[in-house]
Amino acid sequence: MKTKILHIAHDASYNGATIYISRLCTQLNEFEQEIVFCFDGIAYNIISKLTNCENLLSSKHMNYKFLLLKYWKFFRFIRKRNYDIIHYHQGGIGILLLAFFFRKKAVVIHHLHSGNLIGDNTKHNISFLHTLLLKYLSLKTYQIAVADHVAKEYSLKIGSTGNLLVIKNSKPFAFQHKNKINKAIGFIGRCTKEKGFTLLSGIAKKLDSTDSQVKLIIMGEEPENFTTESKEENVNFIKPSFEVEKFYCSIDLLLFLSTAPEGMPLVVLEAVSFDIGIIAFALQGVKEILGENYPLLVNNSEDIINKISLYFSGEINIERLNAVHKQVSEEYNESKMHELIQEVYNKIIK
């Protein structure tokens, strides 16, 4: 009989954690895996074709009524089912506690995808109560950190228990050397303030006035307040999808403008695979992938337009970027990541 694993995620959208889980479900075939999402999302129909999954709630509202309803729905879900492993990725500290207390005989894994430690990378810090709860849970669960800096932060805040492992996130594509310059800049992900979309709108206007030949391609859901009248001519939205190859092949630069506590950003790893230059703030997760001396890192928003100009004018050493991308692509190997996760699953159920 196959080992039965439940993955817990926040919503069925095109985000790093959901893509990570989907890759585990499709690649590790020796296990029987399913996913429970706290909320529905635009990627649910696609994911449901890959593996068994279920939504607790059809819509997402940030109020106490829906929070309690989420907990009740999850309690009813988890008490009726038996699993060997419950692999928590996102959902909030309440869901993690319910998973632990009503796990029956299942072993619980707490996957640390972000620097926030509870899976919400919109917030930089966790509360004192969250810290106390995590200290307790750390003694009873296994933890997997996606990056060295995430493991370090966990050890400093929670304390090392001996159950903490570092299995770095990986890129899902083989390295592809890029030659052609399309004068196109890309942005991929949620169009929210913490992901840098507000800043991106200003950059689009500046590009339109300084270099009308540069195009901005955004792969994400267009916000309702981003009206046709305010849209610059050089901006093109395309719908989010798991099929990102065409997007990366059409751009030269990626703007990764997140100010959130990222763990090991999948978007950066994907861009590296396609040999795309990455303009990003010098966050810990970004620096861990690209190195502190990567030429396109910025410390403030005023540097972004300047970096774009330097890149397209040829003043940035493209060969140096290519060498970094190839080295990183070789280091963050997907097969190795899957093997390590598989080893963890097999070890903890023995």
Read off the pLDDT of residues 253-302 as tens digits, 9 standing for 90 and up.
999 998 877 889 999 999 999 999 999 999 889 999 999 999 999 999 88
* Top-confidence residue, 206 or 269: 269
- Residue 38 reports pLDDT greater than 90: yes
- Residue 228 reports pLDDT greater than 50: no
Q: Rounding to the nearest 10 degrees, give the CA dihedral for residues 242, 246, 252, 256.
A: -10
- Helices 93-101, 64-79: inter-axial angle, 10-degree rounding: 20
CA distance 342 to 99: 21
Identical fold, 4-170+333-348 and 184-331: yes
* Top-confidence residue, 226 or 53: 53
Q: What is the pTM of this model?
A: 0.92
CA distance 16 to 20: 6
Q: Return the CATH number of the domain spanning residue range 4-170+333-348.
A: 3.40.50.2000
Q: For position 94, what pLDDT does the model report?
A: 92
Q: Tokens for 25, please give them.
A: 């479900």
Q: For position 262, what pLDDT does the model report?
A: 83
Residue spans of the domains in the chain: they are 4-170+333-348, 184-331
- The mean pLDDT value of the chain amounts to 89
Q: For position 200, what pLDDT does the model report?
A: 86
Q: For position 122, what pLDDT does the model report?
A: 55
Centre a 10 Å sphere on the Cβ of residue 224 and count the other Cβ atoms it contains: 6
Q: For position 118, what pLDDT does the model report?
A: 58
For the stretch 134-192, pLDDT in tens is 999 999 999 999 999 999 888 988 887 789 999 999 988 889 988 777 789 999 988 88
What CATH architecture is 184-331?
A: 3-Layer(aba) Sandwich (3.40)
